Structure formats: C-alpha cells, structure tokens
Homo-oligomer: A and B are copies of this chain.
Amino acid sequence: MNEKDEFELLLEKVFELLEEKRYRAARDILVEENPADTAEVIEEIMDEVGLDEAIIVFRMLPKDISVDVFSYIDTDDQIAIINRITDKEISYIIDELDFDDKIDVLEELPANVVDKILEKTPKHERRQINTFLNYPDNCAGTLMTPDYISLQKTMTVGEALEYIRKEGMDSETIYTCYVKEAGRKLYGIISLRVLVTSDPETPIADLLETDFVSINVYDDQEEVAETFQKYGYLSIPVVDKEGRLVGIITMDDIFDVIEEETTEDIERMAGVVDSSNQEYLDISVFKHVKNRLPWLLVLMLSYVITGSIITHYEAALSSVIALVAYMPMLMGTGGNSGSQSATLVIRGISVGDLDTSDALRVLWKELRVSFIIGVTLSAVNFLRIYVFEHQSIGVAFTVCAAMIVIVIAAKCIGSMLPLIAKKIGIDPALMASPMIASLTDMVSVTSYFMMATMILHV
C-alpha cells in the first residue's frame, strides 16, 4: 500500500470518529502520525467537516506536537486557526515555530495582532523579526531564516563538530555551515559532509569553499528558485549589498515558490490575474470577478475590429450565406493552432530552453510545421465540404485556401508574440491563448473574406 492510500484510510477513520464526536480517539490516532499527515488531516477537516471541529482537534494535540503540525498547515488555514485560539496558545505556537515559518505567519496577520504577539518577545528578536517583515513581497528576504550555524575561521574540524553538537538543535540546517570575516561579511562555507569525513585536527580554513554561490536579499523568489534548480544545493546563503550574511534559504522552501510561480504563469496564460496565492474556494466571488473581468473586457473590445471587418464584407456575405457556417471552424482552428505555438514558446522561455535570440530558428520551424498542418487540415476539409456537404467547389476552395493561410499566420503570431513580449520586457505568459485567439480571429476573418473575394468574386 502506498503513502497515498494509507493517508486516505487515515482520513476516513478520523472522519468517522468525528461524526461520532469521539474527538479524543481521533486525537490519539493523529498523535501517532507524521506531523505533515496530521496537518493535512486538519486541513481536510476544515474543508469537509468544519472549522470548529478542526479547531477542537488541533487544540487537543499535545503542545509540542501542535507546533510541528501547525508549521505544515497552509498559511490561509494557519490564520483561520490563529483567529480562533487564545492569546496564550498563539504566543506558545509563534514562539516555538522555526524562524522562517514564524515570519510567514506574522506576515499574514494584521499589524495590531503582530504587535500584541511580539510584546513578550525579547527586544533583540523583535528587532530581527521587524527587519524580516519589512522585506518586499516575493523577494529572497521573505524566504530566508537567520538560524544557521556560524563557525570561526580558526576552528579545527573537531572544534567545529563540537560546536555543532552543542548549537545544532536550534539551527534550520546543520548540513552547511558558514564562516564570516570582519564586518559580518560571508567568507566561506563548509558542508557537514566535509567536516564528518575529514580529520578532526585539520583547520577548517583549509577546507573552506570561498568561491560560493550566494543570493542577494532583494532577488526575486523566481530567481532564487532558478538558482536552486541550477546548482542543486541544499541551502544557499543570502547576502546584502555589502556581502554581509543576513540569512540562509533551504531547498525545501523552494517547492512552494515553484508552485506559486507556476500557478501565476498558468493563470496568466488563461487571462486570470491573481496575486493572492489563495486557494480557489477561499477566494471571494468579487475577488474572482476582479481577477477575471479586466482581460475579458479588453479582449471583448478587441472584437470591435473583427466585427467591423465582417461588416465591411457584409455584401459578400449575404450573397454567399453558406460562408458563415465555416467561420467558427476557421476561427477556432486558427486560435488553437496559435495557442499551441504560443504555449510551447512560453514554456520554452520559462524553463530556459528558448531566448529572444532564437526567434528566427523558431519562426523557420513554425513555418514548416504550420505548412504541413495547414495542408493536411485543408485536405480533410475539402473532403468534408465538397464531397460530403455538396457545397460548390468555389466555397470548398475558399475555405481550404483560407485554412492554410490562417494556420500559418496563427502559428507565426503565436510563436513570435511571446518572444517579442520577452524582448520588450512584458511577461511572455500574457501572450497566450486568449490574446492569441483574439488576434488570430481578426486574421482569420480577413483572410477568409479576401479568399472569398478572390475565388468566388463576390
């Protein structure tokens, strides 16, 4: 049985117990589980049973376990819990959380609640928390933790290990250790792997990696994720403008960043603008409207142009009304062809396979691909229109010739727009299906009616 099935069983069992109001029995089961699983169970209770039940179960967990569980719960749900428990419980949880998790929670709370929580925090830590809270959204500063192992350049391997043994428990990771020089500037890093496999008498200065990769505290989180993906390091130090070590980021925090950034990309590609990172069901109706209406409106208005092209050819249309029946197919296929190309290019740009310098090679490839596709689709259409639907050969030729032109144009537009956007500094993801479809629709009706004028002499 795999982890997923085991979890489903656990969930079922807990739900059953809750239905019978046997909260204590549910608690006893959850205490034995991995905190990540318990956290997921509590989230599921919130969604499927109710917030009250989730709070009851959460509060029944032993204190030390509850903090661990809390750290695995989604931020939205964490806030929901915070709003329902006593100040004393809040203080305990916030106190015990790892520094980076603490910051994540505090960032989402209203300022007056934060102040109240920080009242009892020692002055030094309060100042540090405030610094961290002031970093701009989505920058490296909001991902890092100041809880790292800091060694002295003069230590031997044995001394370093002794220091880690004593201080290691409060640190986010002990697998990479940092050595600073005068002015808190980061001088070098050393992995626990090197320490553990070296002779205890060796000075760590001989083993230090001084040519290390670092991240600037104001770097965007997307860049941070790329750096982790590229180098594969477990943690990367974060420095300020002057090269002073201000914190470290660990690899496990990068998964959330990747998920967030991917969601943003995919949503933008569908014309949804949402910066909240909230779950679908947690977003209010009005927020949903606000996220979706602007693009729909802009794109809808772009159809004024398509409409006037059609009006321009109204006389032609009314003489061969059969042409209207093929309009949706031509527009739809144009849109789909263009979206395919746009999506491939946008994804290529975002994973680093494509760049603006590849534009000509992309165009050449799309020209060939679209020619073959256009001709194939035309052939199928000719069969359909001339042979099966018994339209005049003129109508069939018009539709088929338009199809070839439309597919080629759509694929060229679809592949080039994201690269142009990138070149002029707009997010290429905005040049996806909705935008491409509006543009190809204009091209489609124009080519269609031009073909009709030429072939049918209407």
A residues near B (Cβ < 8 Å) are 2-4, 32, 34, 36, 40, 47-48, 161, 164-165, 168-169, 174-175, 192-193, 196-197, 211, 213-216, 219, 223, 227-234, 251-252, 254-255, 258-259, 262-263, 266-267, 269-272, 279-281, 285-286, 288-289, 292-293, 295-297, 299-301, 303-304, 306-308, 310-311, 314, 317-318, 321-322, 324-329, 331-333, 335-337, 339-340, 342-345, 347-348, 351, 353-354, 357-358, 361-362, 365, 368-369, 372-373, 376-377, 380-381, 384, 432-434, 437-438, 441, 445
Residue of B nearest to A306 (CB): B328
Bound-state CA distance A424–B56 (Å) is 35
Q: How far is the CB of A18 from chain B (nearest CB, A)?
A: 16
Bound-state CA distance A18–B354 (Å) is 22
Q: Is the CB of B48 within 8 A of A271?
A: no
Q: Is the CB of B288 within 8 A of A347?
A: no
Task: Select one of B267, B300, B321 contacting A343, CB under 8 A.
Answer: B267
Enumerate chain B residues within 8 angstroms of A332, measured Cβ to Cβ.
299-300, 303, 306, 331, 437-438, 441
Q: Is the CB of A280 within 8 A of B164?
A: no
Report whether over half of chain A's contact residues are helix, strand or loop; otherwise say mixed.
Answer: helix
Q: How far is the CB of A413 from chain B (nearest CB, A)?
A: 15
Enumerate chain B residues within 8 angstroms of A368, measured Cβ to Cβ.
285
Bound-state CA distance A381–B307 (Å) is 12
Residue of B nearest to A272 (CB): B340
Bound-state CA distance A312–B306 (Å) is 24
Q: Is the CB of B285 within 8 A of A369?
A: yes
Given contacts A289-B372, A295-B336, A354-B280, contact A269 B328 (CB under 8 A): no
Q: Is the CB of B314 within 8 A of A321?
A: yes
